[in-house]
Structure 1
Amino acid sequence: MVSITIKVQELLDERGMSQKSLAEKTGIRKAAISEICNNMRTSINREHLEKIVLALGLTSIEQLMHLDVEND
């Protein structure tokens, strides 16, 4: 089984930022930011990921996502 976790909320917490602040910085709807932060999305727009990476000053994809692979 493979599980991908988006770590946006964790990153916001580390930076003392709100979802609203990220929405304002990126131009992404607050509802979409909330869904991303709560890992409720089954797909995420690549443009949204790029905007989030820029807004948070990330330098690697590992900062944004966690991949968990369970071998049966």
Structure 2
Amino acid sequence: MKLKVTPRLNAVMKEKGWTQVRLSEASGVTQGSISRFDKNGRHEDWQVFSIAKALGVKVEELFEIEEAAEEDAE
């Protein structure tokens, strides 16, 4: 099984009415890292957990997770 994982931090922040500056202050993650979160394919573990804790959400909520269709090679 393959998973397609797409960051969705901006959507979560919008739902909660948070700005990047507020999240940066609450999480200890730089505002620059927060602004690039949805564009990056790699995330530092501590940043993901700090952001989730500050927002009061589960880590999984910061990402859209879908099962990707596996292509048969045969």
Displacement, 1:6?
Answer: 1.2
1 CA distance for matches of 2:59 and 2:46? 16
Displacement, 1:42?
Answer: 2.1
State the Cα deviation string for residues 13-47 of structure 1 (Å, max 9, x = none).
011110111011111111100000xx221210000
Query: 2:17 is matched by which residue type in structure 1?
Result: G
In structure 1, the residue matched to 2:48 is: 49
2 CA distance for matches of 1:71 and 1:51? 33
Among 59, 62, 65, the residue aligned to 2:63: 65
TM-score when scaled to structure 2? Answer: 0.79
Where has structure 1 moved over 2 Å in runs of 4 or more? none
- In the alignment of these two chains, the number of paired residues is 69
Output aligned runs, 1:1-72, within 5 Å.
3-36=4-37, 39-59=38-58, 61=60, 63-68=61-66, 69-72=68-71
Q: Is the CA contact 2:49–2:59 (under 8 Å) kept in the aligned structure 1? A: no
Name the % identity. Answer: 20
Displacement, 1:67?
Answer: 1.9
SS in 2 for 1:67: strand
Query: 1:44 is matched by which residue type in structure 2?
Result: H
2 CA distance for matches of 1:23 and 1:64? 15
